[in-house]
Structure 1
C-alpha cells in the first residue's frame, strides 16, 4: 500500500496541486471539517487485497498457530513491528532500548500438582470437587478459617461484608447475585444482572480488598449442575496454563469454584439449606445473617509448579498535533492457540479469523493513518495501534497494558477493538449475508461513541450493525471476552467489532481461504472512520455512564 500516488490523489481531491503539501507550507491541518473531508481518501487505502496479503503470511503454517510465548508468536510480533516501522510509526516503549515497538513482560507458565481440601475426615479433590482459577497461596497444606459471606458482594446497595471480619480467612459465597420479592435483582432493581453476578472477578476483588485469603464460589445447586457448569475447567485443568505473574506484595484472593456438596460441608450444613439461603434473601430483600456453623478442621493444598514465559505486546504510535496528549487506542490480539500434536491430520490452529483478521486490520489502519500524517493530515489526537498477546490465555496482554500503560489511562479517549472479522456466523450463514458486523459496547460508557459508530457507518460503509450481543443479559458475555474489556473496566469507552462464532472457531480449519476479504475490508474501514473521528473531532467524547 506504500504508494506516493496517494498524496497527489488526496491533494487533487481537495483542490491542491501536487507540488505543495499542507505540511510543506502551513504545518499539519487541525481543522476538523477539513480532516473529515480527507478521511475517505485514506479509508480507500484499506483494501481486501492488502488484508489478504498480510493474513496469508501471519496465518500460514510457518507461524505455527502463534501460541503465546512460542516461536510463531515471536515471528508474528516481528512481522507486525517491522510493518509499523516501515510505515513510519514510532515505537513508543522508551524503556525498551532493543525494540521500542515491544512492551515485553513475563507471564507465568504453570501446571497443577497435588490438590485437595479436607474437612475433618472428609476429603475433596481438586479438579473433581473444586477448581482453582488463577494463582493460589496453598502450595503446602495449610489449616484455614472459613467464613460464610453470602454472595460475596460489597456494593453500596448491598453488602455481605457488614460486621464481618474476613481478614486472612477463606470465604464461602454463593454464585450469582440476589433477587428481591418481585423477582428483580436487588442491586440493579431490574431484571438485568450486574457485574457481581456476571463476572466472578468482582467477588474476587471484593474479597481481596477486605483482606481474605481465598474466595470459594459455590457453583450449581447439585452435583450434576456443578459438573455441567465446570466441564470446560475439567478439559483444561491438567494442561499447563498461562497467567500474569502474581504480585507478592498485594496478592489477589485465590478464587475457587466449588461443588455445593463441598460448600455445605465447609459450613456444617446441607446443600438444601445452603442453596435455600437465596430464598431467605429474596424474602427479606436485603442481606440476611446466616445460621451456618463453619467447620473448624479445614485444610487446603493446591500445589502449583511454575516457570516464567516471556512475551510482548506490539505497539506502533502516531503522535497527534494540537491534542497530542489525548490518545485513541486501536487493538486486536495477534496470538492464537498453537499446535495440537494429538490431532489426526492438520494439527496447526492458524487462527485466520481469530484473530489474524483483526490483526491485519490494525496494520492497515496504522498504515492509512501514517500516510495521512506524511501528507499533512495527521490526527489531532495521538493514536496508539496495539496488537496484544495472550488474549487466548485470558486477555492477559491487554490486562498487562491496562495495569502498566505506556500512556496514562486518564488521557485515553477510547478503545477500538477488532476481534474476528470477515466471516459469517451460524445465524448469517442461513441467509448468506456477510454485510453485517456485531457491534458491542459502544453505548455502555459513552452515548457519543455509539452515535459516532452509527453515523460513520451510515455515511461511509453501510454495514448492518447487529446489536444482538450488546444485550447486557446475553448469555455469551462477549462484552467481557475480548481485550476491550480491560479498557472498559477502567471507565474508558470502547467499541468492539466481531463477526460471531462459526464451525471453524478454535479449530485447525480456521484458515485464510475462508475469509471473505470484501467483508473484512468494510469492517476495517468502519473502524478506520470511527478512529479518525475520535482522533480529530473538536471535543473529547463524553463518558456519561457508570457501566463497566
Structure 2
C-alpha cells in the first residue's frame, strides 16, 4: 500500500519550495523556485528502507562483515535505480582501509591493588597490532579533564612527564561542572570534552595509557553504552607507523564507583578532586600502580563509503553534500538473548532519509529541473567507531573540499511525531543555518538549539569531519514541542518504549512509529539544499566559532 504525506502537508511543502527566501540570492535561484514542482515524500517507501536495513538479515551492519556487504548492495542498487552516478570514477564505493582490534574478554586488570572486572567495572582496549597488552607497575596519574587549551589558558598536563604512566581523566570539560563560571563554553561541550580528544592528548603527551572516568550526566549516556559500544571488535583507520607509535598502549573507561574506590586507595576523595579540577588545571600522581594484561587481535580489511552524485546542470563541479552513516554495532555473541544491534533509529532511519531525498532530486532532474549545482550523497562507514568513514572522505575527498559548498547530515531521524520547534545542533555556527530557518517559515516552526548541549552533539556525528575542513555542516531535525496533545501522549509512550535502546539491541524498527515528523524534517533539508543548490551563495562560519578561519561568513 502506497502511503504519502497528507495532502495538506504536501501543499505546504510545495509552497515552501516555491517561496523565495528573504535573504538575497541570485536571480537563477528565484527562477528555479518558481518552476519547482511539488515533491512527495513516500512514507511507505521510507518505512520499508528503515525496516530492511535494520532487519536481522543485515546483522547490525557492522563494517567489514556480511552485514556490510548486504548494506552496500542495497544502497548501490537504490542509487542506480534513481539514475545517480557513482562518484568514484563511476563506482559507487570508496574503499576505507580499516583495522579491527579485538581485546580478549578474559582480562587481568589490577588498579591500586583492586582487581577489576571487565565490562562490569572497566572496559579497556588497545589500538596496536602487538598481540596484546602486558603492563606492569605503571604509575597512575590523575590529570583532571586531560585538556591542553592555550586559548582558555588551561593545561592539565603542566609540569608533568607522562612517559610510562597512565592518565586517569574526567569526562566532558570544566564548563559542564561550572556552567556559570565562564569557563570554556559553559554547559555546551567543546571538542576538549570528547573522548577522542582526551585519548589523543594523552598520546601526544607520551602517556602509556588513558582511562576516562565515566559519569552518566557529563557523558550524557549510561555505562551500558560504554559496555556495548567499546567491547568486541573496534574499528579504526589504518595509520602510519609514526602515528601508531605515538598512540597510548591501552585506552578505555572506568565506572564512577570503581574510580571512587581507586582514589580512596590513594587517600584521595574523587568528588573533592572533581571540584578542584573544574576550578583550574590539575594533575596529581595517585601513588598507585596498574597491572593490565589481555590478548589483542588485529585484522585488516577495507570497509566502504557509498557515494552517489546527481550532476548539476550549470556548475557541476560545485557540490551540495548529504551524509548519513549506514553502519551500526553488529552482533555481540557474548550477550544472552538478543545479540543483534539492529540500529533502526541509529541510523537506518537517517540512511533511509538520504535515499528519499535523493529520489526527489532525481525526479526533479528527470522532469527537466536539475539543480544548478551537483547534489552528492555519502553513506558513510564506521561512524560508530569514531566517524571513520567521514574522516577518511574528508582527508581523501572524491570532490575537492574547496568545491564542496555545504553538508546536510542525517543521524537518527524523528520517530516521535511532528513538532512546532526544530533543533539545530550547535546552533549559531554557520550561515548554512539560514537556509534551514527559511525552510521552516512556511511550516511555522521555530529553530532552537539542542536542549542538552553538554552532550557535545555537534562533535558526535559525521558532519563534524567536514566542519573540521571548513565546509559548513549542519546536523538538525526533530524538536521538543509536540504539535498537539495526542502527539505529546504518543511521544511520552514511545520515549518510554525506546528508553535504554541507544546503542542497544532494542533499537529495532517498530510499525507503530509516527514518522510524520521525520518526513517533515526531511522536507526541510530538501528545500534548504534545493535553495542553496540553485544559488551562487557560499555560506561560511561565524566569527568566534572553531571553523571561522577555514571559511569565514561572507557577511563579516
TM-score (norm 2): 0.73
**Which residue pairs with 1:85 in the alignment?**
80
Are 1:449 and 2:432 an aligned pair?
yes
**Which residue pairs with 2:491 in the alignment?**
none
Find the residue that maps to 2:461 and give its secondary structure. coil
CA 1:507–1:75: 2 relative to 1, 3 Å? same
C-alpha distance in 1 between matches for 2:518 and 2:179 = 43
**Which residue pairs with 1:287 in the alignment?**
281
CA contact (8 A) 2:165 2:209 kept: yes
Query: Which of 407, 423, 435 is the aligned partner of 1:439?
Result: 423
Are 1:37 and 2:34 an aligned pair?
yes
CA 1:118–1:463: 2 relative to 1, 3 Å? same
Aligned length: 492
Find the residue that maps to 1:443 and give its secondary structure. coil
Query: Which of 452, 463, 472 is the aligned partner of 2:453?
Result: 472
Query: Which of 453, 458, 463 is the aligned partner of 1:484?
Result: 463
Note the C-alpha offset of 1:541.
Answer: 0.6
Find the residue that maps to 1:172 and give its secondary structure. strand
Unaligned 5+ segments in structure 1 are 2-12, 14-28, 425-432
Note the C-alpha offset of 1:330.
Answer: 0.5
Superposition pairs for residues 497-516 of structure 1, below 5 Å?
A: 497-499=476-478, 502=495, 503-504=497-498, 505=501, 510-511=508-509, 513-516=511-514
Are 1:203 and 2:186 an aligned pair?
no
Find the residue that maps to 1:217 and give its secondary structure. strand
C-alpha distance in 2 between matches for 1:463 and 1:539 = 25
Query: Which of 203, 212, 217 is the aligned partner of 1:217?
Result: 212
Note the C-alpha offset of 1:385.
Answer: 0.4
C-alpha distance in 2 between matches for 1:487 and 1:351 = 23
Range with bigger deviation, 153-162 or 479-488? 479-488
Note the C-alpha offset of 1:170.
Answer: 2.8
Note the C-alpha offset of 1:478.
Answer: 4.2
Q: 1:257-305: per-residue Cα shift (whole Å, max 9, x none)?
A: 2467668868983231x543345466xx543575x4644x654334322
CA 1:343–1:36: 2 relative to 1, 3 Å? farther
CA 1:183–1:494: 2 relative to 1, 3 Å? closer
Find the residue that maps to 1:135 and give its secondary structure. coil
Are 1:494 and 2:488 an aligned pair?
no
**Which residue pairs with 2:169 in the alignment?**
173
Q: 1:503-523: per-residue Cα shift (whole Å, max 9, x none)?
A: 255556833633445544322
Superposition pairs for residues 42-441 of structure 1, below 5 Å?
A: 44-52=39-47, 54-55=49-50, 57-59=52-54, 62-94=57-89, 99-108=91-100, 110-118=102-110, 123-124=115-116, 126-132=118-124, 135=127, 139-143=132-136, 144=138, 146-156=140-150, 157=152, 158-167=154-163, 169-178=165-174, 184-185=180-181, 187-188=183-184, 190=186, 192-197=188-193, 199-219=194-214, 230-234=223-227, 240-247=232-239, 248-251=241-244, 252-253=247-248, 254-258=250-254, 269-272=266-269, 275-280=271-276, 286-287=280-281, 290=284, 292=285, 294-295=287-288, 298-308=290-300, 310-320=302-312, 323-336=315-328, 351-374=343-366, 377-421=369-413, 423-424=415-416, 433-435=417-419, 438-441=422-425
Find the residue that maps to 2:390 and give its secondary structure. helix
Note the C-alpha offset of 1:370.
Answer: 3.1
CA contact (8 A) 2:478 2:521 kept: no
CA contact (8 A) 1:442 1:450 kept: no
Rg larger for: 1
CA 1:185–1:403: 2 relative to 1, 3 Å? farther
C-alpha distance in 2 between matches for 1:287 and 1:53 = 52
CA contact (8 A) 1:151 1:175 kept: yes
Q: 1:177-207: per-residue Cα shift (whole Å, max 9, x none)?
A: 447998744632745553334x222222222
C-alpha distance in 1 between matches for 2:58 and 2:227 = 29
C-alpha distance in 1 between matches for 2:355 and 2:422 = 21
Note the C-alpha offset of 1:77.
Answer: 1.6
CA 1:471–1:370: 2 relative to 1, 3 Å? same
Note the C-alpha offset of 1:250.
Answer: 0.5
**Which residue pairs with 1:17 in the alignment?**
none
C-alpha distance in 2 between matches for 1:181 and 1:74 = 44
TM-score (norm 1): 0.74
CA 1:167–1:76: 2 relative to 1, 3 Å? same
CA 1:187–1:319: 2 relative to 1, 3 Å? farther
**Once superposed, what is the RMSD of the aligned Cα atoms?**
4.2
CA 1:141–1:320: 2 relative to 1, 3 Å? same
**Which residue pairs with 2:10 in the alignment?**
none
Find the residue that maps to 1:513 and give its secondary structure. coil
